[in-house]
Chains A and B, each alone.
Chain A
Amino acid sequence: MTEFATEFTPVAAAIGGALIGLAAALMLLFEGRIAGISGILDGVFRRRGDEEAPPAWQAVFIGGMALGGLVLLVVQGSVERDFVMTNLELSPLLVIVAGLLVGFGTRLGSGCTSGHGVCGIPRLSGRSIVATLTFMAVAVATVFVTNHVFGFGGLS
């Protein structure tokens, strides 16, 4: 339908998902922390108080993620797979508005896809299940309206 539509890749998705789950599991079993990226990022911008794992564990975790991003960038050329690249031509203004909404919204809603989705759903947290259903449904509606009604969305 659109040139940007991607193919269904269930195996890579499940393997990648399992790695994400494993990463979150390490944080739980070793540090007792929820691997919620919006919350961790929020923590990076706070003054250090009584955190147990010096230096602030949040910054170390984000550093690990950034390192992962660099490795993905280096590796994707040699394996001819796209890990970190996009063909979308998103308007910078739209991206900035989206970023503001994601930053503000995830803090107001106390979590994002990782904290509510990956870590909240398996412990059957009612709040996380409601939050995940809400942001999924609203995002689906947003993609529908922007791409199929107005035609300015990323996929159109």
Chain B
Amino acid sequence: MIRQLVVLASGFLFAIGLGISEMTRPEKVLSFLNVFGDWDPSLAFVMGGAIVVYAAALQLAGRREGPKFGKEFHIPKIKEITPSLLIGSALFGVGWGLAGFCPGPALVASAALVEPALYFLPAMIAGILLHRYTVERRKTG
């Protein structure tokens, strides 16, 4: 029970952080990406704040055998820069630049019934499933 509460609180805090920094508003994100126009650098400060706090958590994690509840730290071990990584990230970049939503903000804005997010979220889930039933299925045979 306490375990589920920590996960729930974590998701909640994540959403509040996105909201306070207005990352849930596509104009805020697009204004950051609009480097050659009226640039709003706020998103860099969001990223910076998050990275500083998470880096401290990584230091703590490094001194521990494992997480408090889980069995082990699930940290990705793969190191190669693959074509999938580059192509996938580029496709994501196009979508992000078109609508100003990435997955976290799209979820939070959908829950708050923000109209474009209500189109975006189902399409994004369809994209996730499309990947699973095409690329992923082929890979695993």
Quick one: given A41-B107, A118-B47, are A109 and B125 in contact (CB under 8 Å)?
Answer: no
Instruction: Check if B98 sits within 8 Å of A67, measured CB to CB.
Output: no
Quick one: given A106-B103, A142-B94, A148-B36, are A154 and B71 in contact (CB under 8 Å)?
Answer: no
* Distance, CA A52 to CA B107, complexed state (A): 24
Q: How many A-B residue pairs have CB under 8 A?
A: 531
Q: Which one of B41, B88, B109 lies within 8 Å of A109 (CB-CB)?
A: B88
Instruction: Check if B102 sits within 8 Å of A105, measured CB to CB.
Output: no
Q: How many residues of B contact A (CB 8 A)?
A: 118
B120 cross-chain contacts in A, Cβ below 8 A: 95-96, 98-99, 102
Instruction: Check if B17 sits within 8 Å of A88, measured CB to CB.
Output: no
B87 cross-chain contacts in A, Cβ below 8 A: 105, 108-109
A55 cross-chain contacts in B, Cβ below 8 A: 4
Instruction: Name B's interface SS.
Output: helix
Smallest CB-CB separation from B102: which chain A residue?
A: A113
A103 cross-chain contacts in B, Cβ below 8 A: 103, 123-131
* Distance, CA A66 to CA B81, complexed state (A): 33
Instruction: Check if A63 sits within 8 Å of B42, measured CB to CB.
Output: no
Q: Which one of A17, A71, A72, A123 lies within 8 Å of B58 (CB-CB)?
A: A123
Quick one: given A29-B67, A103-B125, are A15 and B49 in contact (CB under 8 Å)?
Answer: yes
B107 cross-chain contacts in A, Cβ below 8 A: 37, 41, 62, 65-66, 69
**Interface residue ranges, A against B (CB under 8 Å):** 1-2, 4-10, 12-35, 37-38, 41-42, 45, 52-53, 55, 57, 60-73, 76, 82-88, 90, 92, 94-110, 112-114, 116-119, 121-123, 125-127, 130-132, 134-144, 146-148, 153-155
9 A-B pairs with least C-beta separation = A103-B127, A64-B11, A68-B15, A109-B88, A17-B49, A16-B21, A142-B97, A99-B123, A138-B93
**Interface residue ranges, B against A (CB under 8 Å):** 3-4, 6-28, 30-31, 33-38, 40-58, 60-61, 64, 66-76, 78-81, 84-104, 106-116, 119-132, 135-136
21 cross-chain CB contacts under 8 A: A10-B42, A17-B45, A18-B52, A20-B18, A32-B67, A66-B110, A67-B12, A69-B24, A86-B109, A99-B95, A101-B94, A102-B99, A102-B124, A103-B128, A106-B88, A114-B103, A122-B54, A139-B33, A148-B37, A154-B27, A154-B100
